[in-house]
Chain A
Amino acid sequence: MLWYIGRRLLQVIPVFLGATLLLYGLVFLRPGDPVAALGGERGLSPAAELAIREAYHLDQPFLMQYLYFLKGVFTFDMGVTFTGRPVVEVIAQAFPVTFQLALMAIVIETVFGIGFGLWAGVRKGKLFDSTVLLWSLVLISVPTFVIGFVMQAVVGVQLGWLPITAGRDPDFISLLMPAIVLATTSFAYILRLTRTSVVENITADFVRTARAKGLPRDKVMSRHVLRNSLIPVVTFIGIDLGNLMAGSIVTEGIFNINGVGGTLYQAIIRGENVTVVSLATVLVIVYIFANLLVDVFYAVLDPRIRYA
C-alpha cells in the first residue's frame, strides 16, 4: 500500500507538468492581445506597452514564458495580476471560501443522497421509491442556475429563511443556500447510485446468509447491505469533490461569492494568463489528490482491492 501511495505521489509530477504546459499553451493560443486590451479605446503609449510586455515576459517566446511561470510556481512568486495584486494572494483569497462551499455541498449531498437512496432501495417499487426516482431525474435535468434562481425567489425572498446572496466574507448561514444549490445534481446522482447498489446487494447471497445467522434487521442493513453499497458511492463522491471545486462558477455567480469560480472567470475575461494557469493548476492538484484519496479509501472499504 505504501508503495502504491508513493508511486501515485510521484505521478503528480508528470501530471502537473503536462497539465500546466497544456493550460499554458491553450491560453497562449487564445486570440486577442491582453496588453492592447488593457489600454481600452484610447490605447497605451508605446513605452508603457513595452514596459508591461517586458515585466510579464510577454516579449519572450512561448517556451521561455512557460519556464518563467514554472520558476514562479516553485518560488511561490507567481507574479502579480494586472491590478498589481500578487497571484498567490488571489489564490489564498479565493480558495478558502470555495473550499468551504464545496465541503458543505459534499456533506449535504452525501448525507441526504445516501439516506434517501438507502430508504428507496429498501422499499423498491413502493411509493417513496418511485417519487424519489422521479424527482431525482427532475433535479438532474434542470440546470443549476434555474434551481439557484428559484431557491433565491422562494426561500430567500418569499419565505425569507436564508440570505439571498453571500457577498464578501460569507458565514455559514449565508453559504447554506449556495451549498444546497451546488449539491442538488450530485445529490440526485448519489441517491440513484446508492439505490441501485442497495437493490443489488439486498438480494445478495451473503445478505441471506447474514439473516440466516439470526442477525436482527438493522444489523443486516448496516453491516451487510449499506456497507457494501457504499463502495461505488465513495468513488463518486471523491471525484465530485474535484468537480465541486471547479464547477461552482455558475453558483458563485448567482450568489455573488468571490471564490475560485468568479476569480477564474474574471481572469479569463481580462486575459490574465498567469492567474488563469495558476488557479487551474491548483485545481488540477486538488483533482489528483482527491482521486488518490478515493483510491486509498476504496482499498479500505473493499479488502479485495490490493494495490501493487
Chain B
Amino acid sequence: MTTTITLTDGTTEDAPVPVEKHDDTTPLLEIKDLQISFTTATGTVEAVRGVDLTVYPGQSVAIVGESGSGKSTTAHAIIDLLPGTGKVTGGSISFGGRELVGLGRKQFEDLRGREIGLVPQDPMSNLNPVWRIGAQIDEALVANGFQGGKAERTARVAELLSEAGLPDADRRARQFPHEFSGGMRQRALIAIGLASRPKLLIADEPTSALDVTVQKKILDHLEGLTAELGTAVLFITHDLGLAAERAEHLIVMYKGRVVESGPAAQILKDPQHEYTKRLVSSAPSLASRRIQSAHERGQEADDLLAEHADEAETTAPDVVVAKDLTKVFHIRGSRPGSHTDFTAVDGINFTLPKGHTLALVGESGSGKSTAANMVLGLLDPTSGTVMYDGKDVTKMSAKEQFSLRRRVQPVFQNPYGSLDPTYSIYRSIEEPLVLHKVGDRRSREARVRELLDMVSLPQATMRRFPNELSGGQRQRIAIARALALKPEVLVLDEAVSALDVLVQAQILTLLNDLQAELGLSFLFITHDLAVVRQIADLVAVMKDGRIVEHATTDEVFDNPQQEYTRDLLAAIPGASLEIGG
C-alpha cells in the first residue's frame, strides 16, 4: 500500500502505483448483483440495484459516491446492520467462500468483530457516552472469545489503544468518551474495529467529521496498521481525493449502481462514465481555481482577476472591520468561586472589502465561529471592536442593532437544523420580512417568489416543508431567507460543509453569481481550504484564537508564509494528486 500517489504525465518510476496483483488469490469478499430495498409508507425504495464488488485479502478498496448513492447501505448489508426496514432482496455476498445472505442472527454475531470489523462514521455518536473507553473495547474482546482473565484483557485494551495511536493508553482507557477529542474517539473506534484482528475492516467515512490535519494523521496510521496486520480495508467515502489517495481500487456508485470501477489512478486520469467525470472535475480537493461567475457574462477572466486583485487592495471600501477583537469565556471550576478564563478569540484584526469574500479558515477550536458570532452581533466581544461601515457595532443602541441585522445575515452549516421543520418554505423565507415589517402580504409574496428564482428553485417549492427537500435545496432556502432583507453582508458559517461535492459546487457557484449580481460581501467561515480556493478573495488563517496568516487567496495557496498554513494545505486529501485530462 502506498501513502501518496504521484501521477505527473504518466511518469511513475519513483511513485509505486498500486497494481491489481491479486489474480491468483481467491477473493476475500465477493458481492454479486446485490439488491437492497427499503419499505416506506409510499412503497419500496430500491437503494442498491445490482452492485458487484470484489475485495482480495489485504487489498484496499474504496466506494465513492454522494449521500444516497447506496455506498453505506452496501457496506452495512455485508454485516447485516441495515437500518430500519432495509432488506437484501437479491444477489449474493460471499466472504471467504461462505455465503452471507440468509445467515442467522447468531452466525452474524460470530462474524462481526471477529471476521469483519467496522470503523463507523461519526466519532461523536458512535461511542456510548455512559461507559468508559476501556470497557467498550473490553466487551469487544469478551464477545469475540479473547482467551485470558480480567488483567490480561486490561493489558490488551491498553495495547490496542496505543496501537491505534493513543499515548498514555492506561489512563485513557479509564476515561469516558466525553473526555476525548474527536480524533481520539476515532482512534478508540479504530481500536475497537481492529480489536479481534478481523480479515476485513469496513471504514465508513472514518474521518469525515474531523479536521484535515487530524484526518491525515489518523488515515496514515490506519493505513500503516492495516498493512502491518494484512487487513483488507473497504473504505466508504464521499471524497474522491481521499479515496484515490488511500485505496488501490475505486468503485464509484451513483443512485444504487456501480457506474465505474477500476484502479484509483486510472479512474482519476481517465474517467469513463459521465457522473465520474463530473465528480472528478468538481472535487473541491482537486479544483484549483476560483469560480469565475462573471466569466459567463462575457468578461475576460484575466481582466476580472486583475480587477479583483486591485480592488482587494485599494479601491473597495471596507464594509466590515474587526479591530483587536477578543472574546474570553469564563469557565466555572469545580470549587465554589473558582474559574478559568478561556480566550477563544485573541485580538484578531481583519477587514472585509465591499463586494469581496474573506475566508476565515481554521480547525475546530480555532475561534473562527466565535469571531463570526461577534460579527453577527450574537456575542459581545470582551474587548476590541467590530466596525460596520465605519460604525462601532458594540456601541450601537438596541434599535440600531436591530436595523443592522437587516444588513448582516447569516447562513449556517446544517441545513437540516437551521430551518424550522414546522414552517413551510414560504413562511421560513417570509419570516424576516414580517419581523422587520417590510411590505404588505402581497409584496412579501412577490419577494419570496423572486428570492426562490434567485436561488434557482421552482416557485412551487414555497408550499413545501423542509423535510421534503434535499440538503442542497434546504441550503438554497437558507440562502434565500438570508437574502430576503437585501443584506449587504452574508456571514456563511461552514455553509457548504454538510453538502455533497456536486451540490457543494452548485451552491458555491450560486453564491458567487449572487455576489456579482447583488454586490454582496461574504464572510466565509470554513475548515476546508479546498473550498476557500474556489470562493475567497482574501484568506485569514486562524489558529488558537489568533490570525496567523492574512493575505489574498493566491498568495496563501501559492506561497504560504506560515508552517501551520503549509500543514493545512498538505493535509487536503488528494493534494498530492494531479488529474489528467
Chain A residues proximal to chain B, CB less than 8 Å: 3, 7, 203-206, 208-217, 219, 223-224, 227-228, 231, 301-304, 306, 308
Contacts and interface: CB of A to CB of B under 8 A. Distances in A.
B336 A210 contact: no
Contacts, number: 95
Contact of B127 (A203, A206, A302, A308): A206
B275 interface: no
B442 interface: no
Given A212-B79, A213-B113, A228-B128, A205 B122 contact: yes
19 contacts: A7-B336, A208-B81, A208-B83, A209-B192, A211-B112, A212-B79, A212-B118, A212-B120, A213-B113, A213-B139, A213-B144, A214-B111, A223-B131, A223-B139, A231-B130, A304-B129, A304-B176, A304-B178, A308-B333
B126 interface: yes
Contacts of B335: 3, 308
B144 A205 contact: no
A308 B332 contact: yes
Contact of B176 (A3, A213, A303): A303
With most chain B CB atoms within 10 A of its CB, the pick from A7, A204, A209 is: A209
Contacts of B130: 227-228, 231, 301-304
Contact of B81 (A7, A211, A228, A303): A211
A198 to B, nearest CB: 14
With most chain A CB atoms within 10 A of its CB, the pick from B129, B193, B195 is: B129
A205 B336 contact: no
Contacts of B113: 212-215
Nearest to A206: B128
Contacts of A205: 120-122, 125-126
B300 interface: no
Interface in B64-118: 79, 81, 83-84, 105, 109-114, 117-118
A227 to B, nearest CB: 6
A215 B140 contact: yes
B438 interface: no
Contact of A214 (B109, B125, B334): B109
B231 to A, nearest CB: 15
A209 B120 CA distance: 7
A227 B136 CA distance: 14
A203 B81 CA distance: 11
Given A3-B334, A223-B139, A303-B176, A213 B192 contact: yes
Contacts of A7: 336
A212 B112 contact: yes
B121 to A, nearest CB: 8
Given A208-B120, A213-B192, 12 more contacts: A203-B83, A208-B126, A212-B113, A213-B139, A213-B143, A214-B140, A215-B140, A219-B139, A223-B139, A227-B130, A303-B178, A308-B332
Contact-residue bracket for chain B: 35 or more
Contact residues of A: prevailing secondary structure? helix
Contact of B143 (A204, A219, A228): A219
Interface in B154-200: 176, 178, 189, 192-193, 195-196
B332 A217 contact: no
Contacts of B83: 203, 208
A211 B112 CA distance: 8
Contacts of B111: 214
A209 B127 contact: yes
A224 B113 CA distance: 17
A177 B129 CA distance: 40
A248 B118 CA distance: 52
Nearest to A207: B128
A110 to B, nearest CB: 19
Nearest to B144: A214
Contact of A206 (B105, B109, B110, B125): B125
Contacts of B176: 303-304
List of 9 A-B pairs having minimum Cβ-Cβ separation, nearest first: A214-B113, A212-B118, A213-B140, A205-B125, A214-B112, A206-B128, A205-B126, A303-B176, A209-B126
Nearest to B336: A3
Contacts of B120: 205, 208-209, 212
A213 B193 CA distance: 7
Contacts of A303: 129-130, 176, 178
Interface string B383-415: 000000000000000000000000000000000
Contacts of B105: 217
A214 B530 CA distance: 38
A224 B127 CA distance: 10
A203 B86 CA distance: 13
Contact of A308 (B84, B136, B139, B334): B334
A302 B110 CA distance: 30
B125 A204 contact: yes
A210 B112 CA distance: 10
A255 B110 CA distance: 55
Contacts of B189: 209
A210 B113 CA distance: 10
Contacts of B136: 210
Contacts of B196: 214
A214 B114 contact: yes
A132 to B, nearest CB: 22
A217 B127 contact: no
B126 A215 contact: no
Contacts of A216: 109, 143
A231 to B, nearest CB: 8
With most chain A CB atoms within 10 A of its CB, the pick from B109, B117, B122 is: B109
Interface in B330-344: 332-336
Interface in B259-284: none
A203 B79 CA distance: 16
A231 B131 CA distance: 13
Contacts of B114: 214
A213 B112 contact: yes
Nearest to A1: B334
B352 to A, nearest CB: 38
B110 A210 contact: no
A62 to B, nearest CB: 36
A212 B117 contact: yes
Contacts of A308: 332-335
Contacts of A212: 79, 81, 112-113, 117-118, 120, 193
B128 A215 contact: no
Contact of A209 (B84, B118, B144, B178): B118
Contacts of B332: 308
Nearest to B105: A217
Nearest to A301: B130
A227 B126 CA distance: 16
